Amino acid sequence: MGKRYFGTDGIRGLANGDTLTPELALKVGQAAGTHFLNGGHRHRVLIGKDTRLSGYMLEQALTAGFTSVGMDVVQVGPMPTPAVAMLTREMRADLGVMISASHNPFHDNGIKLFGPDGYKLSDADEAAIEALIGGAIPLARDQAIGRARRIDDARGRYIHAVKASFPEGARLDGLKVALDCANGAAYRVAPEALWELGAELVTLGVEPNGLNINEGCGSTHPEKLAEKVRASGADIGIALDGDADRLILVDEAGRIVDGDQILALIAGSLAAAGRLRGGAVVATVMSNLGLERHLAGLGLALLRTPVGDRHVLAEMRARGCNLGGEQSGHMILADHATTGDGLVAALQVLAVLVADGRPASEVLHLFDPVPQLLRNVRADPRVLEAAPVRAAIVAAERALHGHGRLLVRKSGTEPLIRVMAEADDEALVTRTVEEVCEAVRSAA
């Protein structure tokens, strides 16, 4: 049976909409707290958030839920998702919560849960929490009710951990970096970390007001960063998303560099140093065929998973790999983090840039992408079961057979059907994608 609340990345929706309300957040806190109440110790949950206006509301509702079942709450305020994962484990918390809708607009929000090991919850844990949400939950009594406190040094702890991923003794002196924090969770920690390492900074997206997160900025809108790089003469541009688990780069000429090129660079660097485990890189079905061919030239495999960083991480753990990511910019470096971390990934790229001495335009463009086209059609996922849509997909796959590949899937975060094709023949790619999209639109 499918889950009612949890999607591919926690619970997400329109704040104060049909689903994501303070009432639900309260129940999630009670249910998740009850699920993780085991053992005789004093139980603790750590809660972080990004900069959305609705974060205040959801933070307090979750806090009420957790304390009502006897769990103490530690609030760390605006912090990147990977920081919450790291701090959950470091502070010996039983549970971690990140309030964020990642790259979505401000009016959306979400609840991501991490276990005591800093990893996102399993499907079994999420199913157990959902079952508790729908039932009667026993509340704590008298002195067993939890307490809440906010800590002030969380930012410094995360910055220290991020800097520890950078080569010991290396510095960024002489490097001019344009940094776009998407008016999101990393608006303070990312500039501070890069400044402490010696970089000269030009910043964008560091003035959140609760409403401007991801608005025309960040990893989903890197065009403004590209302009800033060219205008300021920066050596490289770094764009994070709202919760800072994604990374997109811009070279000194203003060209945008996606996650596939970043994966290629980090994979080559780790392999050359003998530190790439598993002989492979894990990516999703969305990664470009050009990346697969490039890695094969290095003697490395590309292992593909369904879309979603949790699938990437699960495959990494199963195969013993320490590098994985998505074309969209999620980068997981298992030696340093338990989830995607845009800032840690950026530092690995900057380390190569400093050591190599060549401009970013040469270092970051390691392969020519195979022509790839992605189109989104707003439609109910059930449209994929319509006979005309199935027929269009079969026809497109037949046309691409032996030349490329087709991927048609429903979005895990929005009511969209995503249609992607890639092949060496760009005209063929365009034609097959448009034919499938038209079938979806007609059926919808």
Q: How many degrees, rounded to 5, is the angle at CA 299 between CA 296 and CA 302?
A: 50
Q: Tell me, what's the pLDDT at 40?
A: 82
pLDDT of 134 reads: 86
DSSP state of 45: E
Let me know: does 221 contact 229? Beta carbons within 8 Å: no
> Which residues on neighbouring strands pair with residue 415, listed in sequence order?
none
Tokens of 83: 């920081």
Selected from 3.40.120.10, 3.40.50.1110, 3.30.70.920, 3.30.9.10, the CATH number assigned to the domain covering 173-256 reads: 3.40.120.10
User: Angle 50-334-319 (CA atoms, 0-180°, nearest 5)?
Assistant: 130
Domain range annotation of the chain: 11-154, 173-256, 258-369, 372-443
Q: Which tokens is 251 given?
A: 């070279």
Q: What fold does the segment set 11-154 form as a domain?
A: Alpha-D-Glucose-1,6-Bisphosphate; Chain A, domain 3 (3.40.120)
Q: How far apart are CA 211 and CA 396, in angstroms?
A: 41
| Catalytic annotation, residues | 102
Report the alpha-carbon distance of residue 117 to residue 94 in Å, rounded. 9
Quick check: do 258-369 and 372-443 share a fold? no
Strand partners, 148: 73
Closest CA to 28 of 106, 117, 101, 137: 137
What CA–CA distance (Å, rounded) separates 240 from 217?
Answer: 9
Per-residue confidence (pLDDT) for residue 3, from 0 to 100: 79
**What is the pTM assigned to this prediction?**
0.91
Please state, in angstroms and rounded to a whole number, the distance separating the CA atoms of residues 11 and 1: 17
pLDDT at 2: 65
The Cα 352–Cα 83 span in angstroms is 24
- pLDDT < 50: residue spans in the chain: none
258-369 is classed in which CATH architecture? Answer: 3-Layer(aba) Sandwich (3.40)
Per the DSSP assignment, residues forming a β-bridge with 78 are 49
Domain 372-443 sits in CATH at 3.30.310.50
7: DSSP letter:
B
Note the pLDDT of residue 396.
95
Angular region, 169: left φ>0, alpha ψ -120 to 50, beta rest: left
